[in-house]
Chains A and B, each alone.
Chain A
Amino acid sequence: MFSSRRRALPLAAAVVLALSPVALAADPSAAPQVAATGAGTVTINNFEFQPPLVTVAPGTTVTWINRDEEPHTVLSADGGATFKSPALDTDDKFAFTFDKPGTYKYFCSLHRHMVGTIVVK
């Protein structure tokens, strides 16, 4: 029960570290686009991924944070082959870095009607 919560802190730190080099190395024309859309963060709230569609530049780390009382997961639509979170309890985070351009659909394996998309371009 508590292990995922313990994991959340080092993960959050890792996200900050991962994001910093990206911000520094990013093409100047790409950086404002990422910042303008608030990209890189998906909030899980009331059984929805918000926003449901996020567009980021290659190399961006996207972080999901669960603000529901219910646990959720984040799995790529290929059954979790590309990315798969552990159970995210309340306030737990999961991060994945999208290196390759493409459209990545994902869902919550606990509530399969919850779906979202990350577009990397």
Chain B
Amino acid sequence: MNTRRGFMQCLAWAGSGVVWTMTGGVPRALNLGDAALAAPSGGFSFVQISDTHMGFKAEANPDPNATLQAALDKIAGLPVKPAMMIHTGDVTHLSKPAEFDTAEQLIKGAKLDTHFIPGEHDVIGDDGKLYFERFGATGAAPGGWYSFDQNGVHFVGLVNVIGFGPASGGTLGKDQLAWLETDLKGRSASMPVVVMAHIPLWPIYPQWGWTTADADQAFVLLKPFGSVTVLNGHIHQVVQKVEGKITFQTAMSTAFPQPAAGAAPNPGPMKVPADKLKTLLGLREITYAPAAGLKLADQTLA
């Protein structure tokens, strides 16, 4: 990247930061057909799916394979083919080989370069051995976390679901935080950063474990950057928050909905009438253009 381009990006990011503050939220459209999203001039788009829970078989969704396929079909029908796909964890329900097989087969059908991070359901009993064999990133650190650049955006894939004790939520751990410090060091602050992690990196509802104990330390490292977008899964619904230059976003699941924080006795799968299920499941398209920044569009399967 030459100096002028870097400078222009910096301006663009300062600009979009102002827009976000003024609107009091994150630029977000509900229809993927939105004109602003269809033509990323000089940029690219990617899609996020999350919490596919292959192997889930309870009443809240008797056929999670079909709803994942429905999400992939929506992606295939997008007016602009995404440059890649990210999966923010809980690929499977119980970390079983057959569940990983099904996930791999279905997701492969999308014919998109796909970057995964694990959820706690993917690492049961083996600290993620089976998961990393299938979906581990090339060049990842020993703990499974990784980063890569795409069209001038820096992507960081974090692992906050393995090891440690009861922390009422996720934990990154000192090894990963040390890696993140090294990974970010020397990068231009004007470079947009997208952080992926399964469990939310901000305290949405610690009573149900919807938080990450040591995420604050990661945000100290991310503070110099002009634009940071955090993409999480885990809670099977869209919750968003803007804090300075950082925007936080959780995503819908393709498998089953969960209750809003504290709205039920426990965070277990939410049973809804069959005709309502697809209105609570979905996917997200994220479009990036240097002049406009990142725009997020959530779409349900309905």
Contacts and interface: CB of A to CB of B under 8 A. Distances in A.
Nearest to B213: A112
B260 to A, nearest CB: 16
Interface residues of B, number: 34
A69 B96 contact: no
Secondary structure at the B interface, as helix, strand, loop or mixed, is loop
A78 B165 contact: yes
Interface of A: 1, 3-4, 46-47, 68-71, 73, 77-80, 84-87, 89, 105-107, 109-115
Contacts of A84: 125
A69 B264 CA distance: 15
Contact of B208 (A70, A73, A107, A113): A113
A22 B271 CA distance: 44
Interface in B221-278: 265-269
A73 B268 contact: no
B178 interface: no
Contact of A46 (B93, B95, B96, B265): B265
23 contacts: A1-B57, A1-B99, A46-B266, A47-B265, A68-B268, A69-B59, A69-B268, A69-B269, A71-B93, A79-B165, A80-B163, A84-B125, A86-B125, A105-B166, A109-B120, A109-B123, A110-B121, A112-B120, A112-B166, A112-B170, A112-B209, A113-B168, A115-B166
Contacts of B161: 109
Per DSSP, chain A at the interface is loop
Contact of B124 (A73, A77, A106, A112): A73
A70 B258 CA distance: 12
A110 B58 contact: no
B50 to A, nearest CB: 16
Nearest to A70: B268
A71 B94 contact: yes
Interface string B166-181: 1111100000000000
Contact of A111 (B165, B208, B265): B208
A77 B166 CA distance: 6
A73 B95 CA distance: 12
Contacts of B94: 1, 4, 71, 87, 89
